[in-house]
Structures are given as structure tokens and as C-alpha cells.
Structure 1
């Protein structure tokens, strides 16, 4: 795999899980870094890849099978002895996912991903990298940034300044969940992170849409009406849609609009990108 410099490509590095739906007795592949890679490929990127650690159990095998089915490059995925990351999920009456418990990332968190030269070669080939808070990859971000054209990072709910300061020098784009923040707090967060040298800062807040800043200019994006079945993966879809659209050369306004449409579509199916595995018994 050697993408041309003119092709739009993205490499997800870090977390993967399976989301087990108690009410359906089935699980789906997921995890922010993996979701964004798969969803970027679905959005229309020329190529997408994923590097992480999966377990040697049924769940880990299903993650690998799902990557293959989605035509996402995963030659540098490690399969290790132990259980794959797993979250237990329940859907409420509105289709919102409620996380009940997890195994704290499974084998991926216990081992911790260490970037080898072959991994960094892949970073250089793909050019654009996405990772996340849940990837436990903070120690490797300086090495990744040296070889990547851009690095996006999902902080999720974690907004504390000391942590953000430790990550900011090694990324170009920051995403946050603003579900617990009001408008003023979101504005302050965006200003603070932008002043740390991060060129693009985005905060999503569920039904209130997204708050954005790119190179000092602010944007707002509303949600797209849809028939909600399952909101799991909607935020990752928005991130994947935005990244993909901008890599394809679209302006910020168009990228945000396309990301909102892409996220709305994800809400109409179960799981972040499908591929259910039915558990017998």
C-alpha cells in the first residue's frame, strides 16, 4: 500500500472495542480510532487504514473481519493473547446509548501500543492520522507528529487544561464532546485550545450541533433531522465526515454540512457502522 500524494487518505491509530447490546444480545465493532478510519473510507476517501491491538477472542476476530469487509488496511494490527476491548451498552427509549460497564480497553490498554518503524512508515505514507483519548497513545504522539502531515485527536469529555496542554503541541486538530458545557464554556474552551497552537478546534454537543473554529474563524453547524434508531457512533461519523471532506478539498462550511448529514445517517442503523455478531444462548 503506497498511496499517491494526491490521494485523500487517513490512518486511525489506537482504540478499538466491541459494543455489546444487552437488549439485542449482539455486539458491533467500534472504538473512536477504528470507527473514524472505517467511516472515512465509507465517506469516500481513497484509502483508510487502522493500527491497534485486538484480542485473540471471538470479539477480536470479528473486529478484524469487519475491517477486511470494509476494505480498510490493517496489516500492522497486533493480535495478542487476551480479551478484546468491550463495552456493555443499553439503548434508552430515544435511541441514546447508555454505557453500563466495560473491561477498560481489554488487551489494548494492558499492553499499550508501541510504534515501530513499520508503523511510522505507514504514518508517512498515509500522511493524515487520527487518534483519541481512549487510545493510550499520548507517549507516541511526538513520533507520529514528526512523520505525519496532520494529526487529529478526540479528547471526548476530557477538558482539563493540563492534559490538553500536554497533547496540543503534537496535533493539528482537536475534537471535544461538549455535552456538559454551556455556550460560554464551549467558546472559552475553543479559544484556549486554539491559542495553544491547534489550528482546528471542534466541539460537538448532541442535538445542539457543532461549534467550530478554523484558523481563528468561528463556525456553527446544526444537526440534520432523521429517524433515530441508535445514536452510537454519530459523533465519530461527524468527525470522520469532517476530516474526509476537508481532505478531499472542500471548504469548512461544506465539510461541516456533509459531516452533519453523514452523522444523521449513522443514527438510522444499529452500531457505529453495522457488522452485528449475534451471541448464542
Structure 2
């Protein structure tokens, strides 16, 4: 299997540790998919030319990700600021407003489209700002899309008809509300719909049937990246082998392991105090 992540990347600045870690949904799924054993994993997106951009690029090279289609722009990479709340969970408290990704749009040449079409699956997200390109992209490759917690009707009705897989965060919804919502997404044309629910596990709708997966126990250090690792393992397994129960089980195991170290997939770097947000 060959997978490409297209769109968002970020560095997460952990204020309590004074470190930055590479991340971002589309980038994380590309990295985790490679770790999960896909034949080839690629990433296409825009990165800055600063220390944070260097960290993103170096981490992708270390993970053997195809970076031949990365665009590097003059300016800061997207950076989010993360801290601990009273319960010890990580929460986002600020950012540099997207860095170069807020200044430049990811445009696709015909060569880019041909390159994307050499993959079996493309994953992107609500943070990637390529919604208007989905009709063209969906003609070249099946698309997986992470909506995070965004569920407004106008947006999802615009995006869902072009997707093979849709993932949502449903931690604020009851189980019945999640199931009703998944059926709604399925009726918009997306055959496979997943909802992660934090400590309540995950639900998945496949061709009209609902499946449920509980969480796996872990020595939790940092939950950042766990949801992306769940998506990556699910896609890696289900898109190849079509065994939904096994895909969900392995996805839950992988997500639990990610909670046992800092950063989405590691590569922490001490940040220069002179450039701290």
C-alpha cells in the first residue's frame, strides 16, 4: 500500500518542557502509516525555512517519508503552543496563526496530481485548506479526511461527497448522537465514517453497519498524536485487508502506545529562548 498525507504540518511547543515536536494531522498520518508498514508513504505540504521547518523536514527524512513534493517558503513554520491543564492533559493555548501556511495556499500542478495518483490513498484534514481541490483530487485517488471537531452542516455537505473515509472527534456527544451523526455523513456519500471518543473508545460506520472499539490501557504520558495514530493504523489495515474489527483493534493498540511518550512521534528539540512565543 502507498499512502500520501497532503496539507497541514505544525510544530507543537510544549511550554512546560521548552521543546518543540513535529506534528500536524496530515503529516502525522503519513509518518504513522510508514511505521505501520506501508510500502511507501509521502508527504506534500508547505513548511517554513526556520528552525521549526528544519525539524519537520529532518524528522520526515529520518522516518523515510517521500518529501519530494514539499514546498519550502520564506518565513516561520506553523507553531502551536501546548501546556498542561489542572488534570495534567495537554491543551492548545496559542499559536503563531499558521506561519507560512496562512500566507500561501497549497496549489496542485498536473505533475502533483500525477504523483498523488501513484498512491492508493490520500489523507488530509480540516486544517489543510484544500477543500476546493477535493473534486479534482477525488478523481485521482480515494481520500481520507479528518474533520477534528468541526461538524457544521454547510461545511460537511461541501466536503463529504468526495470522501472515502471521514473521521471526527465526538468526545462531546453521546453514543446515540454519534451513531445518528455517522449515518448522516454516510447518507452524504461517505461510505466509511469514524468517531473517536476519548476514554469512551471509538465508533465506526462501514456501509451502514456500526462497529465499536474500546480503548487499550496505557501508561499515559502525553495524549497528543494518539488520534492521528489511530487513523493511520486503521487506514493502513482496513484499506488493504477490509477487516474492520481487526483494523479497529490494532488502531486502539497503536493509539495507546503513542500516549506513552512525548510528542506525536518524537523528535523533541529544545527551543531557543530568544524565539519563544
TM-score normalised by L of structure 2: 0.96
Q: 1:242: which partner in 2?
A: 234
Do the aligned partners of 1:109 and 1:136 also contact (CA within 8 Å) in 2? Answer: no
Q: Distance in 2 between matches of 1:274 and 1:199?
A: 33
Q: How far does residue 58 in structure 1 lie from its aligned partner after superposition?
A: 0.7
Q: Distance in 2 between matches of 1:38 and 1:24?
A: 23
Instruction: State yes or no: 1:103 paired with 2:96.
Output: yes
Alignment of 1:220-239 (within 5 A): 220-239=212-231
Poorly superposed stretches of 4+, deviation over 6 Å? none
Do the aligned partners of 1:45 and 1:248 also contact (CA within 8 Å) in 2? Answer: no
Instruction: State yes or no: 1:129 paired with 2:122.
Output: yes
- Secondary structure of 1:76 counterpart: coil
For these two proteins, the number of residue pairs brought into alignment is 273
Q: 1:173: which partner in 2?
A: 165
Do the aligned partners of 1:95 and 1:231 also contact (CA within 8 Å) in 2? Answer: no
Instruction: State yes or no: 1:85 paired with 2:78.
Output: yes
Instruction: State yes or no: 1:18 paired with 2:11.
Output: yes
TM-score normalised by L of structure 1: 0.95
Q: Distance in 2 between matches of 1:130 and 1:107?
A: 21
Equivalent residue in structure 2 for 1:153, among 124, 145, 150: 145
Equivalent residue in structure 2 for 1:68, among 38, 51, 61: 61
User: What is the root-mean-square deviation of aligned Cα atoms in Å?
Assistant: 1.1
- Secondary structure of 1:45 counterpart: coil
Do the aligned partners of 2:2 and 2:119 also contact (CA within 8 Å) in 1? Answer: yes
Q: Distance in 2 between matches of 1:109 and 1:171?
A: 24
Instruction: State yes or no: 1:143 paired with 2:136.
Output: yes
Distance 1:102 1:48, change over 3 A: same
- Secondary structure of 1:202 counterpart: strand
Q: How far does residue 139 in structure 1 lie from its aligned partner after superposition?
A: 1.2
Q: How far does residue 250 in structure 1 lie from its aligned partner after superposition?
A: 4.6
